[in-house]
Amino acid sequence: MRRAQLMMQLDQVGPSGHALAMNLLGNTADAADVLQDAVATVLRVRSFDPSRGTFKAWFLAIVRNRCLDILREHQRHPLVDVESVELPVEETDSPEAIASQDELAAIVKRELATLPPAHREILILREFLDLGYAEIGRILDVPTGTVMSRLHRARSALARRVRSHG
Amino acid sequence: MDKDCANVDELLSGYLDDELTQKDRQRVDRHIEGCARCSARLRELDALSASVSRLRADMVPEDQEEWRKVMDNALERTASGIGWVLVVGAVFVLVGYAGYEFLLADVEPPMVKWAVGALYLGLAVLLLSVLRQRLRARKTDKYKDVEI
Ligand SMILES: [Zn+2]
A148 alpha carbon to ligand 1 midpoint, in Å? 19
Question: Do residue A97 and residue A126 come from a single domain?
Answer: yes
CA distance A65 to B144: 10
Domain ranges of chain B: 3-58, 85-140
Considering only alpha carbons, which residue of chain A is nearest residue B37? A92
The domain spanning residue A100 has which CATH number?
1.10.10.10
* A36, A81, A94: residue with CB nearest B74: A36
Question: Do residue A69 and residue A97 come from a single domain?
Answer: no
pLDDT at B1: 67
The domain boundary residue, chosen from A21, A44, A74: A74
Instruction: Name every chain A residue with its beta carbon within 8 A of the beta carbon of B56.
Output: 127-128
CB-based neighbours (< 5 A) of ligand 1, an ion: B 5, 35, 38
Question: Do residue A87 and residue A68 come from a single domain?
Answer: no
- Above 0.90 for ipTM, yes or no? no
Question: Do residue A62 and residue A110 come from a single domain?
Answer: no
Our CA-based measurement puts residue B22 at a distance from the nearest CA of chain A, in whole angstroms, of: 15
Instruction: Name every chain A residue with its beta carbon within 8 A of the beta carbon of B141.
Output: 65, 69
Is-above-0.90 flag for pTM? no
Task: Indicate the DSSP class of residue B52.
Answer: H
| A63 close to A38: Cβ distance less than 8 angstroms | yes
Task: Indicate the DSSP class of residue B144.
Answer: T
Total of domains in chain A: 2
CA distance A28 to A18: 9
State the average pLDDT over residues A52-60.
90
| A18 close to B66: Cβ distance less than 8 angstroms | yes
Our CA-based measurement puts residue B16 at a distance from the nearest CA of chain A, in whole angstroms, of: 10
pLDDT tens-digit series, residues A116-127: 989 999 999 999
| A147 close to A122: Cβ distance less than 8 angstroms | yes
Instruction: Name every chain A residue with its beta carbon within 8 A of the beta carbon of B13.
Output: 148, 151-152, 155
The domain spanning residue A65 has which CATH number?
1.10.1740.10
Question: Do residue A87 and residue A153 come from a single domain?
Answer: yes
Domain that holds residue A117: 82-163
The domain boundary residue, chosen from A74, A90, A108: A74
Question: Do residue A86 and residue A156 come from a single domain?
Answer: yes
Question: Do residue A38 and residue A16 come from a single domain?
Answer: yes
pLDDT tens-digit series, residues A132-164: 999 999 999 999 999 999 999 999 999 999 988
Question: Do residue A67 and residue A89 come from a single domain?
Answer: no
Q: Where are the alpha helices (DSSP H) in chain A?
A: 3-25, 28-45, 55-74, 95-98, 101-114, 117-123, 133-140, 144-163
CA distance A34 to A17: 9
Question: Do residue A70 and residue A100 come from a single domain?
Answer: no
